[in-house]
Structure formats: C-alpha cells, structure tokens
Structure 1
Amino acid sequence: MQKNIFVLLLLLASIISARENVTVTKVIPLTLDASLQKQLQSLTQSMKKRFQAKAVAVAVMDSKTGKILSLADSNSDVVKDFPKNRIANLTYEPGFVLAPIVFSLALEKKLITPDDLINGHQGRYQFKGRTITDHYPFDWLSAANVVIYSSNIGIVQIAQKLPAQDYHDGLVKFGFTQHSVDGLRGENGGFIPDSKRLKYEIYKATTSYGYGVKVNLLQLLQAYNVFNNDGILIKPRIVANSAAQKPQKVIDTKTANAIKKILIETVEKGTGKNAKAQGLEIGGKTGTAHVVKNGRYIKEYNCSFVGFVNGNKKRYTIAVLVQEPQTSQYASETAVVVFKDVLNILVQEILI
C-alpha cells in the first residue's frame, strides 16, 4: 500500500547549456498521500456523474498538523496543475454551513447558550421587510437545535445579538477573506461585509445563514478545523517542506468543544445523518445555497458538507463541495454522501 507523499516535478526554469544541453528542474514535495489522492480523484469524477453536477471537490486535512492529505477535483488534476488550483480560486455563498461559526462567536461572547430557547415562528418570520423561511415549521427550539436542524429563522435571531465589529472581526479571525493555503497560486480570498454594513440588521441576518458572503472550500476547511482542534486555527499546508505557521487561538477551548458537540449531534440526529459510521467520532454541517447568475438567484444550488472524523490513530477535517447537482438540491443527499465515501476510503487505507 503506497503511503509516500507526492513529489511534484515542476519545470521552474529551463537553462539550456550550449555544451551540455541540460534542463534544470526543481523538486517540490507535496503533503498529499498518493494512494488517497488517486482514489478521491476518481471518487469526485464518479460523483460528478452520479449527481449530474457541474463539479465535485474534496479536501482532507490532518487536524493537528494542517497537512493536506488529499485535494481532489473532478474538473482538474490538482497535481499536474499545481501550484494553480481551481478549488482555491472558486468562491461561493456557502449557505448554512457558515451558521456554526456565527453561533460560536455569540457563544464566545456569552450572548447565547446552547440551551437557550429560540422562537421558530412556525417556519415564517417577518424581518426588516423580508420573509425568512425554514424547511420545517419549528415552534420553539434550543439554540443548539437551530444548528442541528438548520433553522434560518433561529440563526438570524442569534446573529442579531452580535455587535457588528465583533461579528466582522470574528469571521476574519476564522480566516475568511484571507489566503488559507500556503503554496497555492492565486487563491481567491472571497468577501464578507465590513463592520459598517453589519450594523444593518438585514446584513447580519443574511450573512448568518451564508448569503451575502463569498468563501472558498479551503477557508471552510480551515475554519471547521478550529472546532476539532480546541479552538486553535492552523493554516493548511500542501508543500511538505514549508514552514508551519504559528497556530492562533481563535475561540476558547470550551466554546470549541460546545460547537464540536453540536456538530456531532448534527450527524447523530440532524441534517448530517447520512455521514454516520460506527466506531468513529464524526461531526459536521450541511450547507445548501442558491447560485447567482446574471445578478439573480436561480433554482440551482451549491451543496457543501464540512466536518471531521476522529479515530484511534488520527483526526481529520474534511470539506466537500458539490456544484449545481441536478439529482437533488440538498446537501444531505449529495455532499454528505460524498463525505461518507471519503470516510470509507480512509478506513480502507487504514489511515484512521
């Protein structure tokens, strides 16, 4: 079983000697596990066909070290294209997958507790001239269940408790608008509203359930790893000999563990149920968001699932994106299914 890291030969300079006719190349070792990368590359391509999707992408990272073990994309060869990368360049509105991060900011400031009751308004909530809806007519639900069952109405009310500056600064601390992976060329940092805009309650509202922001999948991978790493942010690494950057404490360990527990419950009984696997600690959150074309939201969707899996040997953070699937609009039926297959491959490769 091959467990060697990839070694990528990049032709950075071609110096042709008139006498010796020598081409000089530079060797760049990558952190990718060769066997895992090959299998997940094949998986993304097969899942693209299964869901009739525009593209499928998967990223797997060691939660403690930040080393990326696989970065697979149905629409490109990550290794051959390196250091360019389609996944790092693609930003999109992530949907409810952003909500646990917003929740953690309110929890960190002691503005909410997981047991606080939130009014579900029977699935329809009039807010600042807009009607916010849920997929289910919730009555009252705990703040934790707001995340577990993806209540837009619930997370909007939680977000209103956050001062605008704390809201903005918190998202930045989680790594949004910043480059996440050293070694990838041209990463798109995305967009979040500034603190002035977040003073308007409607921007707080839409941002809380993942609209009006632009992120890339690797930023989400980095952010969710905070919950599986005691509140510490580690920048993902793909170049093996690159210096690891100093870890940053983003939220208190207690806060991180509270969100981690909620994400585990999301897999146990919420929107991530299809990701369950016996004998492993698994947590994560789904996100389904409309796609914008020509300045308007259309009935096409980007489906994400970002989470973690912890076994006896290792802990991994995993991010999945299914772009515009035609067979289902729900992340629970697309991105979560891909996530589960990634878990199965990790188990088969005896990496967990």
Structure 2
Amino acid sequence: MQDYRDLNVNDNIEDNNSNEDSTDKSQNAIKDRSNGIILIFFFLSLCLILFVVITYFKISTPRKLPTIVSSKKEISQRGTIYSNDGFNLASSKKLYKVSVMKKSIDPDKMDLFIRLFSIYSGMDENYVADKLNGNGNIILSYKVSPKTALNLKQLNQKLIKYGIFRSYEENGRVMPKFGLSIEISGESRDYLYKDLIEPILGYTNKLETDGFTKPKGIKGVEKFYDSTLESKQDGLYRGNRDIGFNIILSKDATLKQKIDGQNIVLTISLKLQKKIESILDEAAKDLESREIAVGIMDSNTGKILALASNQRFDPKNISANDYSKLNPSFVETSFEPGSIMKPVIYALLLEKRLVTPHEIFNVYNGVYKLGKYTIRDSIKQQYASAENIIVLSSNVGMVQMAQRLDDRTYYNGLKAFGFSFPTNVDLPYEKDGLIPSQSTLKSYVYKGSVSYGYGMRVTFLQMLRAYAVFANGGYLVTPYLRDYTLSQHNKKININKPDSKIEILSVYTADTMQNTLIKTVEDGTAKKTKVDGIIVGGKTGTARIADKGRYSDKYIGSFFGFAKDEKSNYTIGVVVFESSAKSSYYASQTATPIAKEVIEILIQEGYLKPENQNLNKIISIK
C-alpha cells in the first residue's frame, strides 16, 4: 500500500510544474505584446517621418497646378489687290493642317471614319485610305480651307461622341482619345478671275516662315509691290484665362496687334480689261502669231487703263505649258519697231527745224540704195512731201530726211523720247531696249535704218509713252499701274500722283505731229482705225524679225496712236508678235482692225464720247 504522503508529494510536483508552464506562457504573451507594440510604434514613427518629409517637399516645391496663363497667336495675311472698278483680283485666306493619330481610330470603325472624313473634307475616299496606310500621327492634308476646317471640327465632335475614336495603350501608358488635329498651317493666295489681267497681275510662290507657309511675289504686280502687300506682324495675345480658356484682356495681358499687308488698287478696270482680252482671244483664232498685246494709257497722266495679252495663265495652276506666258511682253520683250519709229525721227527733224511738212523729196518710185542695201517702199511714188512720207510710210523718204540729223542730235533725241531707259512703270524686270551709240549714228547707213525702225530695240511701253508725247502737247509721262494704297482701315494712302512731265517737244512740233498722225488715219496706212466722231491718229509698222543674224519669215505688226474726244485723251498700242509670212502679217491687216475694236469698246464703256453722239453707228461687241 502506497503511502498517501507520496501521493501528495507527486501532486505538489505536478502543481508546481503546471504553475511554471503557466508562468512561461504568460511571460511569452507579454513579450509578444511588447514586440507588437514596438513594431506598431516603429511603423507609426516611420509613417510620421514619411508624412513630415512629404509635407516638407510639398511645401517647399512649387505646386504644379494647371496653368492659368494662356497665349494665342494670330497669323497676319498678305494684302489684297483690287481692280479700279472694285473687284477683288488677288487675296489671301488661311490654310489648315489636318492630322490624326491612327491608333486612336477604332480599327472596326476605320471604314466609317474614311467615308465620313471624305464627305466632310471633299477628299477622295481612296486618297484618304491610302494616307491611313501609314503609322503614327498621319497628316491628311496641309491645304484645308477655313470652311472645310470648320466642317471637320464639327465632324470631330461627332466622331468622339459616337466612339469612332478610342483611347489606347502605348509603352505601358494609356493614351487618351486624340481625335482630329486641325491647326493653321499657312496662307493661300486666291485669284478669283483666274487668268484675267495676267501676266500683269503676276503670281506668288510659297515661303515658309516660323513654321507657316506664306506667299511671296515672284512676277508682275505681286512682285513689284511685294513689300507693300506682305504681312507685317503676327498678333500675339497672352494673359490669364477664364474657365473657358479665353484670354482675359486685362491690363496685365500682353497684346501685340496683328498687322496685315496693305491693299492696293490698280488703275486697270476689270470690266474694260476683260473686253479687251476677249477681242484678242478672238483675233488669235485667225492670226498665226505668238502673241497679241494691247495697251491703253491716259495720254496726259500715264495712268494705264488696260494692258492685255492673249497669252495668259491661271496663277493658281501654272503648268509647264505656261512658262512662256509668265513674262509680260510689255516690259520684258524688246523688238525692232519698224515704221512706227518714223514719227519719232520726223518729230526730231521738225523740232530742230530741219524740215517742214510741205517740203518735197524725191522718193525714186520706192527704190533706193542705202550702202549695199536696197530700200523699197510698198507705195510707189516719184515725189512726196515730208508729211506724206509719214502718212504713206516711205522708207526711201525717211532715209533721206534722217541724214539731216547730226549724230549728237540723233542720239540725244532718241534718249529724250525715253529709248534705252526703263519707263519706270511699276512692273519688275523691265528691259531698257537698245539704241546705237552716238558714234555709230555717224554712219549714213545707221541713220537711215534707225529712221524706219531697224538697228534699235524698244519695248511696248517705251513706244506707248513715246506716242503719248504727240497726243499731250509734247510731254514725256511715266506710266503707272497702282492708283493708290489702302490702309488697314480702308483709307486711301500713297495716292499715285504722276511725276512731273518732261517737256521734250515744243507745242508747234507736238501739234504738227498730231495733225500728221490724224492724216495717217484719214488718208494713209492706218485707215482701218478710223472711228466716226472720235479724233484718231496713229501709225502702223511692220518689221521683219531677225533670228541668228538673219531676217526670218516672221513679222511684228503694230499700231501706235491716240484716240480723243473733247475731254478724254488716250494713247493706244497694239502689237502682233511673230506673224507668219504664210498668213496676213502687214500691220494694216493685223493690228489696225484690233485698234479700231479697242476704240469702239472705249466708247461703249463711256471712256470716249463721239462728237455726234450717234452711238448706234458703233459696232456692238459682245
């Protein structure tokens, strides 16, 4: 039998062991709670430190808030060219660039995008589809008009609304819906009447400035007045914006006003010019010639009413076939004038009192030996007065009369009439023409050949103003094409006041010449220019064209003269360049009928009034 005391001892031992286990567990629990508290404290401390650091940087670093300052650039434009009767001949409009990020178009809706874009832009669907074969940001057009740009902006809103554009992922980033990008790319030059007033009006080329395409004058009026027409300063608006992204025009805003180019108004009437060009287009159908040119100028002021050619081009669509038409023959082509030079030499003789109108010359039945050359007249006569030598256009008579001029008088006289000098008309690239040197004019042969228009070269406008001298009392005027300039506020500035006239002939000589030229129209070689009720005077000329040192079978037929009534006085020139010997080539057949039609149009348009006021006699020209 076991002693009960042993049992108690064992129980006590077990109780002690149990108490020790409980104590260990309690201590471990306390230790675990302490560690947890320490960890929590450490974590909170770390968070506090991070908060303090972040707060510090937030305070010390400038906040990147959405900007409240905005800027806007306004592109200035080239000035407009107007006709004298108020028509817009050349003007500028903004061009827009349209682009799209291809990835932003839902591939399942690509065909729909192409169809809609084609409808709104006016571009061919195949063209748009071909453009979209590329990748990235695709430029669909650089030449979108303002109206089309507005349509595309409306389209863009619809495309976004109906989910044709989408966001997409690129390099791990989600890219927002881009839509169409529509922004100004430059400026386009428009010519509303296409080839009218060409090549005088001229054309422009594109010049890129600060990322924008702007036009620059290359030929004609566009070139001569390029510095007047070109845009002066783009506008810039910079300042705080409202919630609608509109710039608030406060005192702190930066405002740089846009300054467009100035507008100019020409002396040429579009209506008159168009009718003259129609005459030339019709005449060109019957005449085998390279070009027909007509000029009308106020004899007293030099104001040009019309400069017309049948060789014209559309400045908006110049092709290789137009290259020969780009240069105005009025100033850039010189030619041997032929018999239209005779009145000039005759005037020099009259001015120096070296001949009188009624002095008689032996003209040898129209055949005369000049050095090794034989000179012939188309009209055979034995004798002719000095005046009739002009009226009937005798080469033989002119050769003899011209010998009375000494070399110095001859040379200075040609220069006094403006030959070998530019007229200073407001067109670029004007040629000087060519006259023999003073020493060359000592030659008997050269004195003779120049007297009937060979051995020298003139331009159309040089001859036009030379004939104005006979019509205006003996004064050399400067022809001009710009009437005045318009400011941005449409006020007339820089009004063209004709330069002081240069008197080169006495009243006696000018009046005598005027009467001789009137007689040439009444009874001589220019009869076909006669118009009832209008005072018409002038001279014809037919000159053979030299080619590679020899005279060819091509001719220049011309008429220069004047038409006047009681109030108005106009100098008129007609030149038919390079008529073929196989067809009509004499000036009386080519140039004079055109001159008569021009005078009749001047009557129809109210520039001239026949003395008898019987307008029913005037041929109606459509």
TM over 0.5: yes
How many Å apart are 1:17 and its aligned residue?
Answer: 4.7
How many Å apart are 1:24 and its aligned residue?
Answer: 3.8
Match of 1:231 in 2: 474
Once the two structures are superposed, what CA deviation does each residue of 1:94-141 show, in whole Å capped at 9, x if it has no partner? Answer: 100000000000111111001000111111112223211111222011
How many Å apart are 1:41 and its aligned residue?
Answer: 1.7
SS at match of 2:274: helix
Match of 2:573 in 1: 319
Q: What is the TM-score normalised by the length of structure 2?
A: 0.54
Would the alpha carbon gap of residues 86 and 329 (structure 1) be closer, same or farther in structure 2, given more than 3 Å must change?
Answer: closer
| 2:273 partner amino acid | Q
1:337 to 593, 598, 610: 593
Matches within 5 A, 1:267-282: 267-282=521-536
SS at match of 2:540: strand
Would the alpha carbon gap of residues 306 and 78 (structure 1) be closer, same or farther in structure 2, given more than 3 Å must change?
Answer: farther
1:85 to 312, 328, 336: 328
SS at match of 2:483: coil
Q: Does 1:34 align with 2:251?
A: no
How many Å apart are 1:325 and its aligned residue?
Answer: 2.3
Match of 2:230 in 1: 13
Do the aligned partners of 2:292 and 2:574 also contact (CA within 8 Å) in 1? yes
| 1:61 partner amino acid | M
Q: Which deviates further from its counterpart, 219-228 or 131-140?
A: 131-140
Q: Does 1:75 align with 2:331?
A: no
Do the aligned partners of 2:84 and 2:265 also contact (CA within 8 Å) in 1? no
Do the aligned partners of 2:280 and 2:310 also contact (CA within 8 Å) in 1? yes
SS at match of 1:147: helix
User: Following the alignment from structure 1 to structure 2, what is the Cα–Cα distance between the partners of residues 77 and 53?
Assistant: 17
Q: Does 1:46 align with 2:282?
A: yes
Do the aligned partners of 2:84 and 2:267 also contact (CA within 8 Å) in 1? no
Would the alpha carbon gap of residues 140 and 320 (structure 1) be closer, same or farther in structure 2, given more than 3 Å must change?
Answer: same
SS at match of 2:465: helix
User: Following the alignment from structure 1 to structure 2, what is the Cα–Cα distance between the partners of residues 31 and 94?
Assistant: 27
Do the aligned partners of 2:232 and 2:261 also contact (CA within 8 Å) in 1? no
Q: Does 1:245 align with 2:499?
A: yes
Do the aligned partners of 2:329 and 2:460 also contact (CA within 8 Å) in 1? no
Over the matched positions of the two proteins, sequence identity in percent amounts to: 38
Q: Does 1:208 align with 2:451?
A: yes
Name stretches of at least 5 consecutive residues in structure 2 with no aligned partner. Answer: 1-82, 91-221, 238-257, 319-325, 485-495, 609-622
SS at match of 2:552: strand
Do the aligned partners of 2:545 and 2:553 also contact (CA within 8 Å) in 1? yes
Matches within 5 A, 1:278-297: 278-297=532-551
1:258 to 512, 521, 540: 512
| 2:567 partner amino acid | K
Structure having the higher Rg: 2
Name stretches of at least 5 consecutive residues in structure 1 with no aligned partner. Answer: none
Instruction: Give me the CA root mean square deviation.
Output: 2.4
User: Following the alignment from structure 2 to structure 1, what is the Cα–Cα distance between the partners of residues 591 and 527?
Assistant: 12
1:124 to 363, 367, 373: 367
User: Following the alignment from structure 1 to structure 2, what is the Cα–Cα distance between the partners of residues 104 and 95?
Assistant: 16
Match of 2:299 in 1: 63
Would the alpha carbon gap of residues 78 and 319 (structure 1) be closer, same or farther in structure 2, given more than 3 Å must change?
Answer: farther
1:102 to 342, 345, 355: 345
Q: What is the TM-score normalised by the length of structure 1?
A: 0.93
Do the aligned partners of 1:233 and 1:250 also contact (CA within 8 Å) in 2? yes
User: Following the alignment from structure 1 to structure 2, what is the Cα–Cα distance between the partners of residues 6 and 296?
Assistant: 46
Match of 1:170 in 2: 413
Match of 1:150 in 2: 393
Q: Does 1:306 align with 2:560?
A: yes
Match of 2:380 in 1: 137
Alignment length (residue pairs): 350
Do the aligned partners of 1:8 and 1:28 also contact (CA within 8 Å) in 2? no
User: Following the alignment from structure 2 to structure 1, what is the Cα–Cα distance between the partners of residues 531 and 478?
Assistant: 28
User: Following the alignment from structure 2 to structure 1, what is the Cα–Cα distance between the partners of residues 84 and 268?
Assistant: 9
User: Following the alignment from structure 2 to structure 1, what is the Cα–Cα distance between the partners of residues 428 and 87?
Assistant: 18
Would the alpha carbon gap of residues 6 and 134 (structure 1) be closer, same or farther in structure 2, given more than 3 Å must change?
Answer: farther
Do the aligned partners of 1:7 and 1:30 also contact (CA within 8 Å) in 2? no
User: Following the alignment from structure 1 to structure 2, what is the Cα–Cα distance between the partners of residues 141 and 59?
Assistant: 32
| 1:47 partner amino acid | A
Do the aligned partners of 1:188 and 1:216 also contact (CA within 8 Å) in 2? yes
Do the aligned partners of 1:76 and 1:86 also contact (CA within 8 Å) in 2? no
How many Å apart are 1:13 and its aligned residue?
Answer: 3.3
